[in-house]
Amino acid sequence: MTVTALKGFKDILPDEVHVWQRIERIARDIFHRFGFAEIKVPVLEKTELFVRSIGEATDIVEKEMYTFVDRNGASVTMRPEGTASVLRAFIEHGLHAKQPVNRLYTIGPMFRHERPQKGRLRQFHQLSVEVVGTDKPSVDAELMAMAWLLLQELGLSVSLQINSLGCPQCRPVFKEKLVGFLEGLGSGLCADCERRRHTNPLRVLDCKSEHCQQHYRQAPVILEHLCAGCADHFRATTDGLVSLGIPYAVNAFMVRGLDYYTRTTFELLTDALGAQSAVGAGGRYDGLVQQLGGPDLPGIGFAMGVERLVLLSSQQEAVASGNEPELFLVALGEAALATGLRLVHGLRSCGLRVAMDHEGRSLKSQMKQADKLRARRTLIIGDNELAAGAGLLKDMLVGSQETLPLPGEVAAWSAALASRFRQEQ
Ligand code: HAM
């Protein structure tokens, strides 16, 4: 019996890897344009890190973490998200002492034991960015504009929803009102809301059940309970979005699944993946660095799910990988194969992407192979052509063909051909 991958853990096969590479390349380029530096953090952390940051009463900590006891008896967890680890590293290495505001990004796998479905996996990948050391609302707008630009450059259209969750001054007042409202509802909520109204009342508000949502129509609205500081911050954030030309909608019922958020929260949503789902989400976490034992520094960030970006990208026209061969060498016959191998090596040494067939297949099947690989050109050499000192060069893009003289030494042809192809790019 063969051993298969775990449920919710996916192989990324060669024919889709280029979509991943394109997304990462564009993301890195944009992050660098906005002054972010990459940080790489471990996938395994002490469990306590996530309990203290994401929050004990969240779905992630309660039921989704891959937690186990290691050989030393310590409780460790496969990271379910990137923010906690990045902030742990930020504090541990005193990055705040090096510059007042740090802009960091990380790309890598995260682990959540969720029910797998389209765009929802147990090992998934995030592009995760954090700005630590400023609470300026213009940074909130700038960060959302960066997420927007990234999606635009990927050719994806999504909608941006934003909200404010207030701060430790105003949120408890709102929470108390909400708890009072929820108590007044009696029974009849879904099982999750029944549980959450005691453990994490804010989370009931983004319950997906239409039945529960009907009950919440009259619920108190957080945006009407913000203190003056949070209300000003929210206004300045939305003003910033307007001035940068980023379209958004306010969703006062958006509460995030992680407890560390304060003030601005946002989600980038699409309905192209079945039920409406987030391709990215984030928000401000002004108390979190201190809560994790670091200095009292504000922060904000977001993460995008790479699998969801890949799914959306794949729904568009096929994207060329950019790694297609610049030349496919079709060698026909023993002598041509031997010379061809040397020519291909010469061209590759000159920096060209070159493919060839070693199996001595027919002309037709080698041309088919070149087509499948989307090779830009083919060079056909047979024993007869070699004897005559020439090959047949076909430009697969333009559709033209020419007889290519191949005089003298193979090394000389390689250099001449490589420089010609470079000029034609
Ligand atoms: P999150 O909303 O939990 O936030 O996840 C961010 C994104 O990761 C989601 O919008 C989604 O695209 C993707 N994602 C989450 N779970 C899965 C899954 N099981 N399968 C596939 N994709 C998934 C965070 O993780 C925060 N750390 C974001 C943040 C950074 N906030 C501040 N800084």
Ligand 1 centroid – CA 281 distance (Å): 6
Q: Which of 30-44, 100-114, 186-200, 388-402 has the lowest mean pLDDT?
A: 186-200
Ligand 1 pocket test target in 308, 309, 311, 313 with most atoms within 8 Å of CB: 308
Predicted confidence band of residue 422 (pLDDT cuts 50, 70, 90): confident
* Residue 9 pLDDT > 90: yes
- Of 353, 313, 351, the residue nearest 22 (C-alpha): 313
Is domain 327-424 classified as CATH 3.40.50.800? Answer: yes
128 CB under 6 A from ligand 1?
Answer: yes
The residue extents of the domains of the chain are: 14-170+226-314, 327-424
Q: Which pLDDT tens digit goes with each residue over 42-60?
A: 999 999 999 999 999 899 9
C-alpha torsion sign, points 111, 116, 120, 121:
positive
Going by alpha carbons, the residue nearest to atom 14 of ligand 1 is 305
Ligand 1 pocket test target in 36, 65, 123, 126 with most atoms within 8 Å of CB: 126
299 CB under 6 A from ligand 1?
Answer: no
Q: What pLDDT score does 275 carry?
A: 75
Q: What's the Cα-to-Cα distance from 277 to each of 4, 63, 71, 267, 274, rounded to whole Å?
A: 28, 20, 38, 9, 8
Q: What is the mean pLDDT of residues 7-17?
A: 94
Q: What pLDDT score does 320 carry?
A: 66
Q: Which pLDDT tens digit goes with each residue over 137-178?
A: 999 999 999 999 999 999 999 999 999 999 999 999 999 999
Q: Edge-to-edge strands of the sheet including 262-270?
A: 37-38, 102-111, 123-132, 299-305, 277-284, 262-270, 159-164, 249-250
283 CB under 6 A from ligand 1?
Answer: yes
270 CB under 6 A from ligand 1?
Answer: no
Ligand 1 centroid – CA 245 distance (Å): 25
Ligand 1 centroid – CA 124 distance (Å): 9
Q: Which pLDDT tens digit goes with each residue over 183-224?
A: 888 778 888 888 888 888 998 888 888 888 888 888 999 999
Give the CA count within 13 Å in the CB-facing half-sphere of 164.
27
Ligand 1 pocket test target in 49, 53, 110 with most atoms within 8 Å of CB: 110
Q: Per the structure block, which two tokens stand in for 158?
A: 């999504």
307 CB under 6 A from ligand 1?
Answer: yes
Predicted confidence band of residue 319 (pLDDT cuts 50, 70, 90): low
Angle at 272 between CA 270 and CA 276, to 5 degrees: 50
Contacts for 326 with CB less than 8 Å, ≥ 6 apart:
352, 353, 354, 375, 376, 377, 421
- Of 305, 300, 287, 289, the residue nearest 151 (C-alpha): 305
66: β partners: 78
55 CB under 6 A from ligand 1?
Answer: no
Q: Is 220 buried (19+), middle (13-18) or exposed (0-12) by CB count in 10 A?
A: middle
126 CB under 6 A from ligand 1?
Answer: yes
Confidence (pTM):
0.88
CATH architecture of residue range(s) 14-170+226-314: 2-Layer Sandwich (3.30)
Q: What is the mean pLDDT of residues 307-332?
A: 85
Q: What's the Cα-to-Cα distance from 70 to each of 44, 78, 79, rounded to whole Å?
A: 11, 12, 15
257 CB under 6 A from ligand 1?
Answer: yes
Q: Per the structure block, which two tokens stand in for 16?
A: 């889709």
Going by alpha carbons, the residue nearest to atom 30 of ligand 1 is 302
